[in-house]
Amino acid sequence: MTQEFIQFCKDHFYIPLYLITWAVAVYRYRRYFDTVLKYLPILIIYTFFTELLGYFIKNHDDFQFFSDDRYDWHNVIIYNIYQIVFFLFFYWVYWKTITNKSSKKIIKYGAFVCLLSYIVSAFFQNPLHEQLNYAHAVGSLILIFALILYFNEKRAEKNPFSQKHNLLFWVGLGLFIFYVVFPFILLSDYLNLNISLQFQLRTILLVAIVLMYSLFMIGLVLGKRKAFR
């Protein structure tokens, strides 16, 4: 059991990172409990349990969803659901935060396009057994666009508090770094590029995960309520 735990931490070091980020988010909660990020700790712990469940489904018979031996290790459905929840949460966050009416409309329509892409993808791929890669890519691009709208608006604002103390800025920066690379890695995997390239892209993906959650934690530590915007 101990050996398995050590190996688990080596192979999936990013999963404990989610738990650490959640702990920091809970500890600093009083600094943003009345903002649009008040549900952030729930999302982070949801991420942690999704990854943990995914590991157990893949590696332990007791957690498997399907009795058919061909699919008994399939855990992709929980990630498809998770990604929809993740996108919708941050669309809502930036829709609520941005004040420009045109930008708010773009984000709202983008959310509908994202949901539509998942519905359409489900007709061509089985979400129980396949990653809805094209829908994930669409959702990622819409989130990136929402982040650009947010950054542009906040850059033009006059505010006495530095962005250094704005939690939402750090969260947005982390999201931007991750979701710039995420769709390309997903699609390269789906299109079966060569193994050496796959290995390099997985490394990039893991680095992006570490950067994203590290930036979340920086924002949680440096963030001040008056600077939140």
Contact indicator for 37, 94 with CB cutoff of 8 Å: no
Q: What is the pLDDT of residue 211?
A: 97
The DSSP secondary-structure symbol of 98 reads -
Interval 89-113: pLDDT, tens: 999 999 999 999 999 999 999 999 9
Q: Which residue has the higher pLDDT, 121 or 4?
A: 121
**What's the chain's average pLDDT?**
87
pLDDT in tens, 218-229: 999 999 988 898
CA dist 121 and 29 (Å) reads 37
188-213, pLDDT tens digit by residue? 766 766 654 556 788 888 999 999 99
* pLDDT band, very low/low/confident/very high, at 54 (cuts 50, 70, 90): confident
Task: Work out whether the CA dihedral 37, 39, 42, 43 comes out positive or negative.
Answer: negative
Of all residues in the chain, what percent carry a pLDDT higher than 70?
84
Instruction: Mark residue 220 as left, alpha or beta (left: phi above 0; alpha: psi -120 to 50; beta: remaining).
Output: alpha
**CB under 8 Å to 104, separation ≥6 — which residues?**
95, 98
Q: Contact at 8 Å (CB) between 144 and 176?
A: yes
